[in-house]
Structure 1
Amino acid sequence: MMQQINNWLSRDPEEKTREELQSLVDINDIEELNDRFSSRLQFGTAGLRGMVGAGPNRMNRLVIQETATGLGHYLIEHIIDAGQRGVVIGYDGRTDSLQFAHDTASVLTALGINVFLTTKVAATPIVAYGIKKFNAAGAVVVTASHNPPEYNGFKVYWENGAQIIPPHDSGIAHQIDIAATKSIPWMSLSDAEAKGLLVWLDDKYYQSYRNTMNNNPLLSNHTDPSAISIAYTAMHGVGADMAETLLHDAGFIHVASVAEQREPDGTFPTVNFPNPEEKGAMDMVIALADSVNAELACANDPDADRFALAARKADGNYQMLTGDQVGILFGHYLLNHTDASKQLVGNTIVSSRLLKKIAEAKGAEYFQTLTGFKWLTNVAMQKQNEEKQFLFAYEEALGYTVGSEVWDKDGLSALVAFAQLAAELSTQGKSVWDELELIYRTHGLYVNAQQSIALAPNSPPIGDKLRANPPTQIAGVNICATEDLKASLRYLSNGSTESIDLPASDVLIYHLEDESRIIVRPSGTEPKLKCYYEMVTEINPIDDYVAAQEKANAAMESLIKEHQKSL
């Protein structure tokens, strides 16, 4: 290992990480050194993400430079005119993001690839938008999204504007391994600019994204926007300027921002975990909403590709909407404002089936993909045609894309679209909760929940155990179909099988006779088993809605308890 360490020290361009590594050697911290050098950060479909620090299993300047080198060689090899078409690069407000972005630009330009580099921090969707605008060969966003402060990441987009999917992930990873054994190509940014290889994306570029969204017909429903008030937080991220601008452009004049969380700050001083889904993360924006009597308390995550909100209820209290509830409201609203028969909408396998039911009722085409927004947009591009144009997709983890101006989740346009949805409902004397009740009464009350089970790092795969001895019942209810995505087969209770048109994945889906659904899959990043539950309950017109909700929630608790016990 010392040979690896010495080699690393000789290649690392950053004094800070060299000193950090040398101090670990000096105190002989074998455990920490093993953790940093026994493996390399794995490059996958989300690019790279990990803790910042010295060594190949951390995020640092050398890892970034090697990754950029591998990416550059792969683009040149697989995309015609990749060098001329170029790569868009942007970055979030984390401590090292600016340096990592500039390092990426220096490597790519040294390889003869044109670079479009933002002059300041940029929301992830604003960077992804640049691929379509410039017909670029790809994009890189230096961001760790909603991860803790000690993390950073390197997110890669392909020429079609979407996040990379196989086989590009493994192909790029192979090139990175080669790059780690060779000298790094390098060109200073001043030289790159002088040679015409570097274009700085200044405010004119950000205004282009702004104008594109303002001209998006799906964001043009200006139904008395001044009638509602909105509280907003950027959660110490990069979304505030554009979020507030787009809301103002759309006529929302009553918008209050959480001042303490408005400016980018990679230390995230007011939140334990900068993820809107985490307990307490929305406390400050909800408190602000309450103080100004706002209908909505909205948030973007730190790179502004996700959108979250709490909405005021009839009793004046605020309640978070789940990702599925927001997705259902979006789907219903957008299909009502378009010719649904010409639209294509989708969500992921772990998201609610209610979107499919709504789409079918409206005459729209529905599609479903594996977990991850990269699948939603790549599949949408494959499926859309002249008869069916892509309209909307979502995943339950707070990701939404409205239209096709950005082929990734976009928390900024989602914020504007939801504000317009709420404003329209307000003119009808309704809240978003009233609209949800109407949807549930029409199509059924869908309740969703998720549970994770921590596993020992060396525990055998539970999926293999379940496949070896498949259950026939869960919580006393018969299983009518089991979908095994690893085998790409659906096993029906009558003994027959059907093929499944999804990429192979270690996922088991159980469909019960009472319409409940249970999904079991291992976490891709931690020793955890993730279980997703969905129950469906019919509500009669005379049924009390609150009582129906309480009954459904109790049934869900019972289902989770019985299923977890069986595992």
Structure 2
Amino acid sequence: MQGLAAYIERTVPNAKERGFVVGHDHRYNSEIFARLTAGVFLTFGFKVYFYTTLVHTPMVPFAIKYLGLSGGVMVTASHNPKQDNGYKVYWENGCQIIPPHDINIAAEIKARNNTTTTWSTTLVDTHLLSITSQTELLKAAYISTITANLLTTPRDRLAATTLRYIYTPMHGVGLAPVTCALERFGLPNAIPVPSQAQPDPSFPTVVFPNPEEKGALDLARSLADRLGVSLVLANDPDADRFAVAEKNRHGEWFVFTGDQIGSILAYAVVLRARAAANATPLKVAMVNSAVSSKMLRSICAAEGFRYAETLTGFKWMSNRVVEFKNEGYDTFFAYEEAIGFMTHECVLDKDGVTALASFVELAILQHERGATMFDLLEELYATYGFHASDNYYFICHDPTIITKIFEQIRFGEKDSDGAVVDHTNFKRESDGVVFKYPLTVAGFPVTYIRDLTAGFEMLDIPAFIQKSGTGLVSLKRGEYEPTLPVSASSEMITFELANECVFTLRTSGTEPKIKYYIEKRGSDRQTVHEHLKAVVKAVGSELFEAAKNNLQ
């Protein structure tokens, strides 16, 4: 924290006077780590806003924007296993840090690792620059801000609903802010899962405290079955993610994917924009990650909204939202397929509480019609096109094999003489590198390639080849540079095919996995599923050569 404090002091104007915020969840030692963090910043002369109670992660970025602070730290391990802990660093704009700040902070930490400013966990209780009286005021400001800006349905109409739903905070900190938000919105109270309602760092009822994990929603669904309730809502332990399950008319539970929830919540923004159309029209911009569904792109195209995709991670999406705001846009939505949703820019990060409230509003409107949220999803497919996806991974414990797989995708298969097998070769004139990407996958022509590892992007490959010919094609600057940041530290390649199939191949930074995210769009569902199945098979057999490389 000494390195972080020194870097912010040196980099952010009036950093110490503006102040810094520190929050924590219920994890083992979270409060101790938060107190140590506050002590370091106080020792550096920062005014420190310290949350004296447990808070959900969005409260830190909210405070930064609301108070105009120089940054903040949230001590949390989110949905990681119970033995983990960590922290998230937010910059003065309310977003998580991105390069070059992360690299510079690491260098500052390394330069200061031989000295200790303070080890006091009590300095925050007595220091003149410590502000501990704002916790409840900031919580109230958060609730007031989201209730003033999020929902469009009249409060009395929401309050009159007979809809019931089960809620689990997954042994985390979500129950308090969710209960408060629902009350202020006029939404019906959630029915909490008793054994998972209160913060407990041991997470006794789940193997892994992540709503996406198999079995994580079992207790909530069991309670719903006993009470005759058909909707289950969940947050992860620090309440920045949101998950949903719904029982269909056949009595079977359907768990919505992050992409499906994202499309539904995007529709809430569509309704908000339509409600404002006759008064002051909203300028809407939407963002999702490169591995998330392109249905958001379809929604934006149909509604006349601005759309952008970013690298994976909310730090990239939130900073893109800031860029849109600077361009004059005033209404925003962002999401990633890993059940993270930003429904309002008062929090420039994923927020499971606002996502839940927005989802419940739509569920009430559906309930009034005698319809379900799955019915709404079907209506969105009918309006914006059916999108089906298959996201999974292969396991490979040998890094050299992973490198070989991606090099073969990038530079092509060589014959016995070492020559590259027949395909168009793209030569980058700046350094002479020749790329040899596959131009068909599962028999479908490749129309677009973006390689964020090597630094290559081509928007319309068939048109380029028709114009430039086959064989060795030289590319000048401006003909191949990706618009997204390039990093050689991890693998990430995206292909689009002529059949409206899009897929991204990437490695994991923490696990021995090669991940794939594949999506097909179309009007005929049988064709969509057939093409999707064919491309999934081809990724494993043609590109990864799973059997040959012993991938699991």
Residue 252 (structure 1) aligned with residue 234 (structure 2):
no
Contact 2:35 2:124 in 1 (8 A): no
Summarize the alignment of residues 108-127 of structure 1 with structure 2, pairs less than 5 Å apart.
Answer: 108-127=41-60
**Structure 1 residues not aligned, in runs of 5+:** 1-67, 540-547
Residue 303 (structure 1) aligned with residue 244 (structure 2):
no
Residue of structure 1 aligned with 2:519, choices 522, 534, 558: 534
Distance 2:321 2:189 in 1: 35
Distance 1:502 1:270 in 2: 41
C-alpha RMSD of matched pairs (Å):
2.0
Residue 343 (structure 1) aligned with residue 343 (structure 2):
no
Q: CA deviation at 1:457?
A: 4.1
Mark the CA change 1:524 to 1:291 in structure 2 (over 3 Å): closer, same or farther: same
Q: Name the counterpart of 2:458.
A: 490
Distance 1:388 1:295 in 2: 38
Mark the CA change 1:214 to 1:275 in structure 2 (over 3 Å): closer, same or farther: same
Residue 238 (structure 1) aligned with residue 173 (structure 2):
yes
Q: Name the counterpart of 1:33.
A: none
> Aligned residues: percent identity?
35
Mark the CA change 1:183 to 1:194 in structure 2 (over 3 Å): closer, same or farther: closer
Residue 564 (structure 1) aligned with residue 530 (structure 2):
no
Q: CA deviation at 1:169?
A: 0.3
Residue 224 (structure 1) aligned with residue 197 (structure 2):
no
Distance 2:376 2:47 in 1: 48
Q: Name the counterpart of 2:110.
A: 177
Mark the CA change 1:185 to 1:359 in structure 2 (over 3 Å): closer, same or farther: same
Q: CA deviation at 1:186?
A: 5.0
Distance 2:264 2:336 in 1: 13
Mark the CA change 1:142 to 1:457 in structure 2 (over 3 Å): closer, same or farther: farther
Q: Name the counterpart of 1:131.
A: 64
Mark the CA change 1:218 to 1:463 in structure 2 (over 3 Å): closer, same or farther: farther
Mark the CA change 1:422 to 1:72 in structure 2 (over 3 Å): closer, same or farther: same
Q: Name the counterpart of 2:211.
A: 276
Q: CA deviation at 1:191?
A: 7.0
Residue 104 (structure 1) aligned with residue 37 (structure 2):
yes
Mark the CA change 1:232 to 1:382 in structure 2 (over 3 Å): closer, same or farther: same
Distance 2:302 2:154 in 1: 23
Q: Name the counterpart of 1:500.
A: 482
Provide Cα deviations, 1:454-499, integer angstroms capped at 9, x if missing partner: 1224325233231111212212222122122231422613436454
Provide Cα deviations, 1:12-44, integer angstroms capped at 9, x if missing partner: xxxxxxxxxxxxxxxxxxxxxxxxxxxxxxxxx
Residue of structure 2 aligned with 1:452, choices 364, 370, 393: 393
Mark the CA change 1:244 to 1:97 in structure 2 (over 3 Å): closer, same or farther: same
- Opposite residue 407 of structure 2, the aligned amino acid is D
- What TM-score comes out, normalization by structure 1 length? 0.83
Distance 1:440 1:196 in 2: 54
Q: Name the counterpart of 2:353.
A: 412
Aligned length: 491
Provide Cα deviations, 1:309-343, integer angstroms capped at 9, x if missing partner: 11221223221101111111111231122147621
Distance 1:553 1:151 in 2: 39
Contact 2:179 2:189 in 1 (8 A): no
Distance 2:510 2:152 in 1: 36
Mark the CA change 1:235 to 1:430 in structure 2 (over 3 Å): closer, same or farther: same
Residue of structure 1 aligned with 2:446, choices 479, 485, 489: 479
Contact 2:245 2:255 in 1 (8 A): yes
Contact 2:268 2:358 in 1 (8 A): no
Contact 2:302 2:384 in 1 (8 A): no
Secondary structure, aligned partner of 2:399: coil
Q: Name the counterpart of 2:257.
A: 322
Distance 2:384 2:123 in 1: 60
Contact 1:88 1:131 in 2 (8 A): yes
Q: CA deviation at 1:525?
A: 1.7
Contact 2:45 2:129 in 1 (8 A): no
Q: Name the counterpart of 2:374.
A: 433
**Structure 2 residues not aligned, in runs of 5+:** 413-436, 469-478, 545-552
- Opposite residue 184 of structure 1, the aligned amino acid is T
Residue 362 (structure 1) aligned with residue 303 (structure 2):
yes
Residue 399 (structure 1) aligned with residue 337 (structure 2):
no
- Opposite residue 531 of structure 1, the aligned amino acid is Y
Mark the CA change 1:488 to 1:84 in structure 2 (over 3 Å): closer, same or farther: farther
Residue of structure 2 aligned with 1:292, choices 227, 237, 260: 227
Q: CA deviation at 1:190?
A: 4.3
Contact 1:236 1:265 in 2 (8 A): yes
Provide Cα deviations, 1:245-297, integer angstroms capped at 9, x if missing partner: 21122223352000111111111110010011110011111122222233420
Mark the CA change 1:191 to 1:401 in structure 2 (over 3 Å): closer, same or farther: closer
Distance 1:119 1:70 in 2: 24
Distance 1:284 1:112 in 2: 48
Farther off after superposition, 197-206 or 446-455: 197-206
Q: CA deviation at 1:204?
A: 2.8
Q: Name the counterpart of 2:426.
A: none
Q: Name the counterpart of 2:10.
A: 77
Contact 1:229 1:293 in 2 (8 A): no
Summarize the alignment of residues 511-522 of structure 1 with structure 2, pairs less than 5 Å apart.
Answer: 511-522=496-507
Q: Name the counterpart of 1:210.
A: 143
Contact 1:231 1:285 in 2 (8 A): yes
Provide Cα deviations, 1:377-400, integer angstroms capped at 9, x if missing partner: 101111225752232111111011
